[in-house]
A = this chain, B = another copy of it.
Amino acid sequence: MRGNKFGKLFSFVTFGESHGEALGVVIDGVTAGLDFNLEDLQIELDRRAPGRVAGTTNRKEADSAEVLSGVFQNKTLGTPIAVIVRNTNQRSKDYDKLKSEYRPGHADETTQGKYGFRDHRGGGRSSGRETLARVIAGYFASLMIPKIEVRAYISKMGPFSATVDDLLNTKDISPYNYPLVEKNTEIKKYLLKLKADGESVGGRISILIKGTPIGLGEPAFDKLKADFAKSLLSIGACVSFSFGLGEEMANLMGSEVSSKRENFGGIEGGISNGEDIFMTTTFKPTSTIGEKAKEGRHDPCILPRAVPVVEAMVKCVLADHFLRQRAYGDGGINE
């Protein structure tokens, strides 16, 4: 009830404060007998890790995953999978003055108001660091849905923008997760400049999903689009969600929309129709600006590191609905 759990049949609970002992996740609902590979998991974590990309935070934590349960001889057991990441580089003293200071756009004041008590060192429970637990969950989700491909990318960041076609033309968009990789040097300069200026910037992350079977999503509240929206808006900096033609739908006539099936974004009546699913989100600029942003270990733009988190959340939704659909079957019990 305190909202630290996500999902139903494929579900996970995250825990940990940014400056506590460790962050972690317990994932429940992974089927038994799937091949686990610690290196693959670590690769996903590293995609999200701070300090790897020039221009992003220089907080260089190992973010090393330790699997405590649910895996035996590199296979999933079907039992809950607990994975933790130790906090090794918390410089809590940096945060001492935050005890009685509330940063705008952060959870500081609302957390104090909500609980009457808080861990004032960094974001505490509301830190973006919590998202590493989601990336871990996303890795295990991906084991369940090997035929579905989920790709997120930066579709807009400051002066840079890209289309889904740009994505389709580029296999590897790391490390910035911007499809026009020939711009990577420019992006680096741009981010370093922002950092030097104590400035930050927002942008957009879009998602393309290929290979979704027909029938995922439920007709009433757990429409696939609704669960995607929740999953993405549950990321701290995310401020908007749309799918298919999205906001553009407000400017269109029914005849224009119905002319092409892909305008429905792969979801009809809340249920996947087997076509590509396309979604877009907006992320606000990092709230930390000014002198603090220059000194600190803060990202001038969260987008590059948010991309693997976005992918993880989308995979978790898909894995959950995959199991739900399998439970009930298409036509049911008599098959």
Contacts and interface: CB of A to CB of B under 8 A. Distances in A.
Interface of A: 1-6, 8-9, 11, 13-17, 20-24, 26, 28-29, 31-34, 66-70, 72, 75, 77-82, 84, 104-111, 113-119, 123-126, 130, 143-144, 146, 156, 199-204, 214-215, 217-223, 225-234, 236, 239-247, 249-258, 261, 264-265, 268-274, 282-290, 293, 300, 323-334
Contact of A34 (B125, B218, B333): B333
A325 to B, nearest CB: 7
Contacts of A204: 247, 250
Contacts of A325: 114
A229 B230 CA distance: 6
A275 to B, nearest CB: 10
A305 to B, nearest CB: 16
18 contacts: A2-B79, A2-B220, A2-B222, A5-B5, A20-B68, A32-B116, A33-B117, A33-B333, A78-B328, A110-B270, A116-B330, A125-B220, A221-B234, A233-B241, A239-B243, A241-B241, A242-B282, A250-B282
A329 B31 contact: yes
B327 A284 contact: no
Copies of this chain, count: 4
A125 B125 CA distance: 29
Given A15-B69, A34-B333, A105-B257, 17 more contacts: A1-B327, A2-B80, A2-B328, A14-B220, A15-B70, A15-B79, A31-B331, A33-B117, A33-B334, A78-B328, A104-B268, A114-B330, A199-B253, A202-B254, A225-B239, A249-B283, A249-B285
> Which of A26, A225, A250, A285 is packed against the most chain B CB atoms within 10 Å?
A250
Nearest to A321: B3
Given A79-B15, A254-B201, A104 B239 contact: no
A106 B268 contact: yes
A62 to B, nearest CB: 16
A26 B20 CA distance: 15
A1 B5 contact: no
Contact of A78 (B2, B202, B264, B287): B2
Contacts of A9: 1, 9, 327-328
Contact of A69 (B17, B28, B69): B17
A218 to B, nearest CB: 3
Contacts of A69: 15-17, 20-24
A326 B329 contact: yes
B200 A253 contact: yes
Contacts of A225: 233, 239
A236 B267 CA distance: 11
Contacts of A1: 1, 8-9, 11, 28-29, 324, 327
A119 B327 CA distance: 21
B17 A77 contact: yes
A20 B164 CA distance: 42
